[in-house]
Amino acid sequence: MRRLLFGLCLLLALVQARAEERLFYQPLNVDAALSQQDWTQLWQASAQQGVRTLIVQWSAYGDADFGGRDGWLAQSLRQARAQGLELVLGLYMDPAYYQRSNELDSAGLAAYWQYQLGRSLALQQRLRQDWQLPVAGWYLPLELDDLHFQAPERRQALQAQIKDFAGQLDAPLHLSAFSAGKLAPQTYAGWLAGLGELGIQVWWQDGAGTGSLAPLVRQAYERALPCTVGVVREAFRQTSAEGQPFRAVPAEPQALSAGCHAVALFELRYRPWGARLLK
């Protein structure tokens, strides 16, 4: 019996470690209040929990650049590197992205995306030159969904733009997507698979934290995904209503693995050792 219990505990620890290998971090201006010692302890704890890759959601959010090359974000990420964490560094995020996506027709959305990709490319070049951080990949924070890209021509135009954008980067591109339940699971999975064939690491957000889809529907979308698409487990539970500023509380992910899929967790402030980011 003791051997069986030991085996189960070891298996659980291995599954947990695998789930914690990749962790998202979403920088917010309030995080500047943490001291350098706080950041050192956060990254040490992350490494001890099995984190190997840190996916930073963005390095500029609207007008906020978090202090630039000598600011708190750049300094904290240098400490993360010192703890052995690989960095996938996020690019530019427009705070009005979702609002603009709702307002624009197909031609307007294509033009808007082209402009945002241009801003991200310019930022990527500045980050390489100024921040002097070893980067294993770049993350595009403009999330994809099957509401705004329900029409095939929109998906085709987007794919051409992303292919061109990824070809100008010096490290692999990562991006994420979620489902609004507007495309059939197989069609949706085929879309993400096509993006993956461009050499892009695509991440699918499981939606468990936002609860936007019923559990059986979410499971159908996940089952349809090809193994090349990673799964982001949401380690939170949203408490804000639609139209309100986003609020959430920590919650254990509904699953710690995803079969053949790479797994990442969203995000640092909702993990037990990241709780100081919520204060």
Kindly report the CATH number assigned to the domain that includes residue 70: 3.20.20.80
Domain membership flag for residue 2: no
Quote the pLDDT of residue 19.
Answer: 55
pLDDT tens digits along 137-191: 999 999 999 999 999 999 999 999 999 999 999 999 999 999 999 999 999 999 9
Count of domains observed in the chain: 1
Quote the pLDDT of residue 18.
Answer: 52
- Contact call for residues 33 and 72 (beta carbons, < 8 A): no
CA distances from 181 to 25, 195, 202, 272, 278 (A): 26, 19, 18, 31, 31
Quote the pLDDT of residue 243.
Answer: 81
pLDDT tens digits along 40-51: 999 999 999 999
Domain membership flag for residue 9: no
Domain membership flag for residue 7: no
**Structural domain span for residue 189:** 19-278
Domain membership flag for residue 5: no
Domain membership flag for residue 217: yes
Rg (the chain; Cα; Å): 19
Quote the pLDDT of residue 4.
Answer: 41
pLDDT per position in the chain (279 positions), as tens?
444 433 433 334 334 445 569 999 999 999 999 999 999 999 999 999 999 999 999 999 999 999 999 999 999 999 999 999 999 999 999 999 999 999 999 999 999 999 999 999 999 999 999 998 999 999 999 999 999 999 999 999 999 999 999 999 999 999 999 999 999 999 999 999 999 999 999 999 999 999 989 999 999 999 999 999 999 999 999 999 888 888 999 999 977 778 999 999 999 999 999 999 998
Dihedrals φ, ψ of 251, to 5°? -155, 145
Domain membership flag for residue 14: no
Domain membership flag for residue 36: yes
How far apart are alpha carbons 12 and 5 in whole angstroms? 11
Domain membership flag for residue 6: no
